[in-house]
Amino acid sequence: MARDGAVYVCQACGAAHSKWAGQCNACGAWNTLVEEVQSRPPGALAPTRAAKQRGLAFETLESEVPAPPRIATGVEEFDRVCGGGVVPGSAILLGGDPGVGKSTLLLQVCGWAAQRGVRCAYISGEEAVEQVRGRAGRMGLSAAPVKLAAETAVRDIVDGLKREAFDLVVIDSIQTLWSDMHDSGPGSVTQVRAAAGELVRLAKKRGIAVVLVGHVTKDGQIAGPRVVEHMVDAVLSFEGERGYPFRILRAAKNRFGATDEIGVFEMGDSGLREVKNPSALFLNDGGERAAGAAVFAGIEGSRPVLVEFQALVAPSAYGTPRRAVVGWDSGRLAMVLAVLEARCGLGFGDKDVYLNVAGGLRISEPAADLAAAAALASSALDAPLPQDCVVFGEVSLSGEVRSVSRMESRLKEAAKLGFGRALGPAGAGDVAPFIITGVSRLADAVRRVGDQVWT
Ligand code: TYD
Ligand code: MG
C-alpha cells in the first residue's frame, strides 16, 4: 500500500504513478520510478483564487507598451544563439555534459555583461565562492562587478533576488537546488520542477533574464527533461567532442529567435574564445587533400560554414563489415551507401566504412549528402577531389542530386577561403570566378571523381 501522499515519479518523463513499477507506462523507461513524498497533494499548490472574482479578461494582440530591449551580453556568439541578446523576463535552460564548459561560458557571459553595465548575479550551487573566484581570475574577470553567491536553497535565492534589482541571473545548476516545500532529494524531478517553476515565476514577475544550468543524463537528455523544457522560453545546449577544443552552442527551442543558429567557441587557458569565422577552424588546412576528403559548403543558422568530410573505405576482416560515423547521422550514411551501391555500381558489402566530420562539428543538413557521397566514392576509387573544390547537394533515393538553398552564400564563403571549384546540383548557376561542375545524378558525380573529369 502506498503511504499517504507518496507518489512514484518517473525521473525521465515526470509522470506520476500511485504504485511502484519496474517500467514507466508513460514513456517506457525502465527503473526510473522513484518515490517522492509530496507535502501537499498536487493541484493544491497554487493558491486558491476563490477570494478574487473569477473570470477571464481578454486583451488585444497589439501591445501598448513597447517590449523592453534585449540585453546584449557582449558575448556575441551567445547573444546570436539567443536571438540577439537575452530577453528580460525570460528563462533560458542551458544543458550540456559535465565538464563541457557551461559554468565557464556563463561566468564569461556574466562578466562581460556586468562590464557593460548589466546588473548580473551568478549563483553557484556546485562550487564554493572561492572556486568561482579562482576561475574568474584565470579568465581575467576579477574586476567585473558580478554579484556572486553560493546557495542551493530556492527560498533563500528567491528572497535574495527580490531584495536587489538584477537584469541577468545565472543559476548553476538547477539539479543542485532544493525547495523546502518538498521532501524529495535535490535533483529529483519534483525538486527540479519546483525550483525551476519558482525561478521562472520570479523571472516573469520582476523582468529578470534567468539562465538555468541543467546537466545532461547519459542518454543525452536534460534531467527531468520534459518538466523543465516546457517551462522555459529557450533551451540551449552546449556541445563539444572530447579531445577537440571547439564548443558549439545550439538552440533546441527558442521563443524569441531561430533555432538553427550556432555559436562557436574555442576553450583555452583563459576561458572561451569566440570563433567569428568557423570555416577556417573546421578546415584541415595546409597539405594535400587526400583521397576520401571532400569539403562541404554548409550553412549553420545564418552563417555559411565549410567543413571537411573524411571517408575511409577499407576491406573488412569480418563477416559483418563495420560502419562508423562521427559528426553525421548514421541513418543518412546507410542511405547514401545504399544509393552508391544501387545506382552507381560501387560495392561496400565487404568493406568497412568510416566517415568523419573534421573538427568535431555535427552536420544535420541534407545538403551534405553529396559531400559525404563524394568523400566515400573518392576513398573507394582512390581518386582525390581537386584541392580547391567544395561540394554540396542533396541526394535522393533514386540517385538524383537535388538543389539546395542559399547556394550563393555557400559559394561566396568558399571563395573567401580560396576555393575556386564546386561540385553541386545541375543548375547551381554561375558565381564568378567559380568553375561549377553541375551534376543531376549521383552516378555522374561518381564517374567524374573516378575519371577526374571536372569540366
Ligand atoms: P566547466 O565550465 O566547469 O564545465 P561544466 O560547468 O559544463 O561542468 O568547465 C570545465 C572544463 O573547462 C575543465 O575541464 C577545465 C576547462 N577549462 C579550460 O580549459 N580553461 C579555462 O579557462 C576554464 C575556466 C576551464
Ligand atoms: Mg559547472
One digit per residue, pLDDT tens: the chain, 455 residues? 445 568 888 887 888 898 999 998 888 888 888 887 765 554 544 555 555 567 888 888 887 777 778 999 999 999 999 999 999 999 999 998 888 999 999 999 999 999 999 999 999 999 999 999 999 999 999 999 999 999 999 999 999 999 999 999 999 989 899 888 888 777 788 888 899 999 999 999 999 999 999 988 666 566 655 678 889 999 999 988 777 888 989 888 899 888 878 899 999 999 999 988 888 777 766 667 789 999 999 998 888 899 999 999 999 988 899 999 999 999 999 999 999 999 999 999 999 999 999 877 889 899 999 999 999 999 999 999 998 999 999 999 999 999 999 888 899 888 888 899 999 998 766 777 788 999 999 999 999 999 988 87
Tallying the residues shown for the chain, one arrives at: 455
Among 277, 255, 272, 228, residue whose Cα is nearest residue 73: 272
Among 126, 212, 185, 199, residue whose Cα is nearest residue 156: 199
State the burial class of residue 157 (Cβ atoms within 10 Å of its Cβ: 0-12, 13-18, 19+).
buried
Q: Which helix (H) or strand (E) holds 411?
A: helix 407-416
Diameter over CA atoms, the chain: 83
- Residue nearest atom 9 in ligand 1 by C-alpha distance: 101
C-alpha cell at 90: 525570460
For residue 270, the ligand 1 atom closest to its alpha carbon is: 22
What SS3 class is residue 197?
A: helix
CA angle in degrees (0–180, nearest 5) for 293-295-301:
140
- Residue nearest atom 14 in ligand 1 by C-alpha distance: 99
Instruction: Convert 256-270 to b/e letters by CB count within 10 Å (16 or more is b).
Output: bbeeebbbbbbbeee
Q: What is the pLDDT of residue 191?
A: 86
Q: Is the peptide bond before 409 cis (omega within 30 degrees of 0)?
A: no
CB atoms within 10 A of CB 420: 14
Which residues have a Cβ under 8 Å from the Cβ of 177 and sit 6 or more positions away? 125, 152, 153, 154, 157, 171, 186, 191, 192, 195
Rounded CA separation 413/415 (Å):
5
Q: What is the pLDDT of residue 1?
A: 42
Q: What is the pLDDT of residue 439?
A: 93
Among 357, 392, 378, residue whose Cα is nearest residue 289: 378
What SS3 class is residue 363?
A: coil
Which residues have a Cβ under 8 Å from the Cβ of 218 and sit 6 or more positions away? none
pTM over cut 0.75 = yes
Distance from Cα 129 to the centre of ligand 1, integer Å: 16
For residue 126, the ligand 1 atom closest to its alpha carbon is: 6
Q: What is the pLDDT of residue 4?
A: 59
List residues near ligand 1 (CB under 6 A).
Answer: 96, 98-104, 135, 138-139, 267, 269-271
Distance from Cα 377 to the centre of ligand 2, integer Å: 43
C-alpha cell at 191: 525538486
Give the mutation target among 100, 104, 124, 265 for probing the ligand 1 site: most ligand atoms within 8 A of CB: 104
Q: What is the pLDDT of residue 52?
A: 58
State the burial class of residue 60 (Cβ atoms within 10 Å of its Cβ: 0-12, 13-18, 19+).
exposed
Distance from Cα 148 to the centre of ligand 2, integer Å: 15
For residue 245, the ligand 1 atom closest to its alpha carbon is: 19
* 259 within 8 A of 83, measured Cβ to Cβ: no
Which residues have a Cβ under 8 Å from the Cβ of 411 and sit 6 or more positions away? 297, 390, 422, 431, 434, 436
Pairing, β 120-124 against β 147-150: parallel
